[in-house]
Amino acid sequence: MWTADADGAARHRLAPAKVNLALHVTGRRPDGYHLLDMLVAFADIGDRVTWRPGGSACRLSVDDRLLRPEPVPVDTSNLAWRALALAGRLGAAPLAGDLTVEKSLPSGAGIGGGSSDAAAVLRLLLTETATDEAFLQAQAVRLGADLPVCLAGRPTRVQGIGERLTPVALAHALAVVLVWPGEGLSTPAVFRARAAEDRDAIPATAIDALAQDPLGAIADLRNDLEEAARALLPAVGHAADALRESAGCRLVRMSGSGSTVVGYFADGNAAAEAADRISAGAPHWWVRAGVLQA
């Protein structure tokens, strides 16, 4: 849902972190794309996207809240810019204005920062148009495999290469701590490092159980990229250990291809206390307590 300034001059939307509750690699297509079966939810933590219409052209600026070795690009390599161009092609009228992305999510983190930014742009600019949802999803997947689920923005089972979406029901929101151990990982590099073994899909019993006991449902599931990510970046394992040693932590799982690790906690107070403790012990890590929305 987007919000507007009191004078209506600007619209704002959260671009939430995308968190994998599970990620199974089930096969590979002849063109090299891996086939996945994933459970995804979205946090109340994210970037902030703002659109201010006006002028005669479109402009993108990035307000980066994190210290990165390289600045976030503002050219066509930025997914938010590419989403702006797509919205311009799909909209009923030419677009002109200023797009600002306030970056609070780390890069190379496995939590879909760029894809979520792009999805927020499309929602901001196309919500009031007559763009067909199925058509929008089909166009968006060309920008990236995570775009369709980020457009959905709710708990979802994702299959194929990211184009097959099935909404799922979580019994309740989940208190979490996200830990990014100060370094990112390249998704292609993680897939290359992974042992070439295709595994089973997520069982239907686990999908059904999400509506009663979400953590119990995913406890026997996995992230098939975690072992490769740990081998490439041992800090992933260190972050996971820090979460497991925290009071109230019930489950730890890496998100996406890493390097963010997610701890699931008994309640929000336990999550906040764990985040404070981990931050104090590793000040160069990005640590956030939050909630995965049901």
In the set 18, 37, 47, 117, the catalytic residue is 18
Catalytic-residue membership of 146:
yes
In the set 37, 47, 117, 146, the catalytic residue is 146
| Contacts for 77 with CB less than 8 Å, ≥ 6 apart | none
Burial of 12 (0-12, 13-18, 19+ CB in 10 A): middle
3-class SS at 151? helix
| Contacts for 198 with CB less than 8 Å, ≥ 6 apart | 25, 26, 27, 28
Within 10 A of 251 (CB to CB), how many other CB atoms are there?
18
Residue 227 contacts residue 262 (beta carbons within 8 Å):
no
Residue 74 contacts residue 109 (beta carbons within 8 Å):
no
Of 79, 88, 94, the residue nearest 49 (C-alpha): 79
Return the active site residues.
18, 146
